[in-house]
Structure 1
Amino acid sequence: MPRGSVSVEVEASCTAVFNLIHDYGRRLEWDTLLSKACLLDGATEAGVGVRSLCVGTWQGLFLPMETEYVRFEPGRVAAVSLTNNPPFFDHFAATIRQKPHGENRSQVTCIYFFRARPKLLEYLMNQMLRRETQIRLNALRFYFS
């Protein structure tokens, strides 16, 4: 199963970064690769068992990705797993970790795993996902600068 990992340093505390990433009311303020982001089933805040919907922009083919939080430790780590069946994905999961680097600086690392449908797309999709993840984390870093 292909895996990727991307990290950036952010000029903000782990708590501030974590809170912004998982605030779906503010997600589009910084995430330049989404056209829609919301929590599902009446949820008002992220947490274990909560499902979310993120829809890409035209660059991401407007793919809708529904995920469910399977781990949620504020200020430290959150993990999601795909719950719908968007084109080209057989499986997808991601973890976002925050690590303090001083009082108001943190390292944000996104680790993703996926299985493509069809499998022969995995190399290309891994390159695209790595690039998109880097763009997304750079946008997060820019938001805090």
Structure 2
Amino acid sequence: MPVVESSITVPVDPATAFAVSQTTGATRLRWDPFVRRQHFLDGATAPGKGVRTFTRHTSGITMVSEYVSYAPPSNVGMRMVTGPWFFTNLAGGWRFKATDGGTLATWKYSFACRPVWLAPVAEWIGTRILQREIDRRIAGFARGCADPVVLAEARAGT
């Protein structure tokens, strides 16, 4: 199963970095180039293990995902419940580790494509596309960790 990963050090503590990664609404859109729209499902109002979310990517592709782990301030994991037909599965995990003067944020996605006969080519292409996406997304996250509006919202929610 292909895996893509990206890491960056941000100048905030792990609790704040984690909180930035979990911002929603207009605050999320300030930093996350991946998301056009995102909201909780099933009446949920906050993230947590078992909570499902709807996400519309900037390209228009949609997905429903579910938190499979939620352990502030160190990590969060999600898996796709429904989404683009070409993914057999898609999962992501974000980890936050204290460093001198900040936090090392590491984001990792794993995925598999279908149909099986096309998977080797689709996964080769998918690895390149998702690597570009995760690199853009973690760079946006770093900008969010330096944005006073995003930081205020994240800290208010912690």
TM-score by length of 1: 0.91
What displacement does 1:112 show? Answer: 1.1
The structure whose Rg is larger is 2
What displacement does 1:78 show? Answer: 0.4
Give the alignment's Cα RMSD to 1 decimal: 1.2
| Structure 2 equivalent of residue 99 of structure 1 | 97
Pick the structure with more helix per residue. Answer: 2
Deviation >3 Å, runs of 4+: none
What displacement does 1:102 show? Answer: 2.8
The CA distance in 2 between the partners of 1:46 and 1:9, in whole Å, is 24
Asked if the contact 2:63/2:80 (under 8 Å) is kept, the reply is yes
CA deviations over 1:1-60 (Å, ceiling 9, x no partner): 1111110111111111111211223321210221101111111110000001121113xx
Number of aligned residues: 141
The CA distance in 1 between the partners of 2:33 and 2:5, in whole Å, is 19
**3-state secondary structure, aligned to 2:82:** coil
Gaps of 5+ in 2: 147-158
**3-state secondary structure, aligned to 1:43:** coil
**3-state secondary structure, aligned to 2:128:** helix
Alignment of 1:22-33 (within 5 A): 22-25=22-25, 26-33=27-34
Q: Which amino acid aligns with 1:113?
A: S
Asked if the contact 1:63/1:87 (under 8 Å) is kept, the reply is no
Q: Aligned residues: percent identity?
A: 29
| Structure 2 equivalent of residue 50 of structure 1 | 51
TM-score by length of 2: 0.84
Asked if the contact 2:52/2:64 (under 8 Å) is kept, the reply is yes
